């Protein structure tokens, strides 16, 4: 079937809320390229929204999934477990920078599930109920994680009251007038006006905001947050669903700060396209709820676990962290050239290859219309490009870290051509 036939089926049978940005349908893909149902080629700078750090159909990951497929597809880990589940848990506990000499893990299916389970664990461990998150955060689409998400549209507007006991502070963002001290003061104010610290189970932060605009929490802010949590017996949860698994030049973004969380959540590129997420934390914290209280029918599926084990091997064997750093430097150099050339390009930033820039108007204000126009023009020229941000004016780059140099250059050239159309 071609794109047009598939679009007709989608219009007839897929809920409008499950919208797709384009009328094209992926047919085959390899590394940073996709061919649609009409045979047209696309350069992929979205990477499945950060899911494909190792590219589409990495051969070692495909091989691992196929080998597992010949053994066991599913038993439900809560009924009878299997080697990939416990082997992956071991690897993650060895690699994840959380507090304490002993760590434990549990596996689920999506980023939202990981975050929601982290909150459950924090509540069980502390006997408290409140959660503090930050403006601009994106933590998922379940009702609890929607309550934690700091952006209304398009995620929350149609769904009525959100679950309670979720409180929000401003994310430190000097570009938009919010200092680190103002953010910390806002949390202290919450303790006086809305929820006492003694009833707060956890603070949940993205060390680099994803949907919120690729804003980076500084090491000094994360240290201050860690100290504030320790002062009040609050658990610190780092949501690394988008920033994890080599995107920032470290396996986890928290490693740049030297700050250890009590719990880290991960998903997306953990299994490079297979549905899998994990919660890793201090063993005593992770063991705080009763037997059978965590899990799910498909949680830690054997095929996904096999994929994740292969992902870790590839990251280590193919020097992917070094590739991420080099890619980030190349993107930063190109962004700087655009800032010098185009008055609308501003505030370029990156941590490893988690890179973005903003588009602003003549007064320096966020320009979401220009941002949408650039993404649309890029798509006309065969490049899949994503915007994001609290003000919808950030263009983010999530190209696979394994992208070939010529494909990377071609994609960046397309962005530059698109920028010319709004200059």
At which residue do the structure tokens 């959380």 appear? 98
For residue 395, is pLDDT > 90? Answer: yes
pLDDT band at 49 (very low <50, low <70, confident <90, very high): very high
Which of 317, 344, 363 is a domain's end point? 317
**Least confident interval from 13-22, 74-83, 117-126:** 13-22
pLDDT at 19 over 90: no
Q: Identify whether residues 298 and 343 lie together within a single domain.
A: no
Q: Is the dihedral of CA 181, 182, 184, 185 positive or negative?
A: positive
CATH of the domain at 148: 3.40.640.10
Q: Which of 309, 318, 237, 315 is CA-nearest to residue 276?
A: 309
Q: Which domain holds residue 14?
A: 3-57+319-420
64-65-66-69 Cα dihedral, nearest 10 degrees: 120
| CA separation for the pair 222, 97 (Å, rounded) | 14
Write down which residue in 296, 317, 338 finishes a domain: 317
The two structure tokens encoding residue 219: 């090491």
Query: 76-108 pLDDT, tens per residue?
Result: 999 999 999 999 999 999 999 999 889 999 999
Residue 107 domain-assigned (yes or no): yes
Q: Give tens-digit pLDDT for 256-314.
A: 999 999 999 999 999 999 999 999 999 999 999 999 999 999 999 999 999 999 999 99
End-of-domain residue from the set 317, 333, 349: 317
Kindly list the distances between the CA atom of residue 18 and the CA atoms of 14, 21, 383, 389, in Å, as whole numbers in the listed order. 7, 10, 22, 20
Q: What is the pTM of this model?
A: 0.96
Taking residue 402's Cβ as centre, other Cβ atoms within 10 Å add up to 18
Domain match, 324 and 305 both? no
Q: What are phi and psi of 413, to 5 degrees?
A: -65, -35
Spatial CB neighbours of 172, under 8 Å, sequence gap ≥ 6: 178, 179, 180, 182, 183, 217, 218, 221
- pLDDT tier for residue 21 given thresholds of 50, 70 and 90: confident
Of all residues in the chain, the percent with pLDDT exceeding 70 is 100
Count up the domains in the chain and report the number: 2
Say if residue 115's pLDDT is above 90: yes
Residue 97 lies in a domain: yes
Residues above pLDDT 90, as percent of the chain: 94
- pLDDT value of position 377: 98
The answer to whether position 91 is within a domain reads: yes
The predicted-structure confidence for 184-207, as pLDDT tens digits, reads as follows 999 999 999 999 999 999 999 999
Is residue 394 over pLDDT 90?
yes
Give the model's pLDDT for residue 266.
98
For residue 236, tell me if it sits in a domain: yes
Length of the chain: 423
């Amino acid at each position: 079937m071609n794109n047009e036939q598939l679009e007709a089926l989608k219009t007839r049978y897929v809920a409008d809320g499950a919208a797709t940005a384009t009328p094209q349908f992926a047919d085959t893909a390899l590394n940073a390229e996709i061919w649609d149902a009409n045979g047209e080629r696309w350069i992929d700078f979205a990477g499945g929204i950060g899911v494909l750090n190792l590219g589409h159909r990495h051969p070692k990951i495909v091989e691992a999934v196929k080998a597992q497929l010949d053994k066991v597809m599913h038993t439900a880990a809560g009924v009878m477990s299997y080697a990939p589940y416990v082997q992956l848990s071991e690897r993650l506990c060895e690699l994840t920078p959380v507090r304490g000499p002993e760590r434990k893990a549990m596996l689920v299916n999506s980023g939202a599930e990981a975050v929601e389970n982290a909150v459950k664990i924090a509540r069980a461990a502390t006997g408290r109920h409140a959660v503090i998150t930050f403006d601009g955060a994106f933590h998922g689409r379940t009702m609890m994680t929607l309550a934690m998400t700091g952006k209304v549209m398009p995620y929350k507007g149609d769904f009525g009251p959100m679950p309670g006991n979720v409180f929000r502070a401003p994310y430190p963002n000097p570009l938009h007038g919010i200092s680190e001290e103002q953010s910390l003061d806002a949390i202290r104010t919450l303790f006086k006006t809305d929820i006492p610290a003694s009833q707060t189970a956890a603070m949940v932060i993205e060390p680099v905001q994803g949907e919120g605009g690729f804003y980076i929490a500084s090491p000094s802010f994360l240290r201050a947050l860690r100290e504030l949590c320790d002062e009040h017996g609050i658990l610190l949860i780092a949501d690394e669903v988008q920033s994890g698994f080599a995107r920032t030049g470290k396996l986890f973004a928290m490693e740049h700060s030297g700050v250890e969380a009590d719990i880290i959540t991960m998903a997306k590129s953990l299994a490079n396209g297979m549905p899998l997420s994990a919660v890793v934390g201090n063993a005593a914290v992770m063991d705080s709820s009763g037997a059978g209280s965590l899990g799910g029918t498909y949680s830690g599926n054997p095929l996904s676990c096999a994929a994740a084990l292969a992902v870790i091997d590839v990251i280590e064997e193919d020097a992917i962290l070094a590739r991420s750093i080099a890619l980030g430097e190349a993107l930063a150099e190109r962004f700087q050239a655009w800032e010098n050339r185009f008055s609308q390009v501003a505030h370029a930033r990156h941590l490893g290859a988690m890179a973005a820039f903003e588009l602003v108007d003549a007064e320096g204000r966020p320009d979401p219309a220009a941002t949408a126009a650039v993404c649309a023009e890029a798509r006309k020229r065969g490049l899949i490009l994503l915007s994001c941000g609290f003000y919808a004016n950030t263009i983010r780059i999530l190209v696979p870290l394994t992208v070939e140099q010529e494909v990377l250059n071609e994609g960046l050239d397309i962005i530059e051509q698109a920028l010319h159309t709004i200059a």
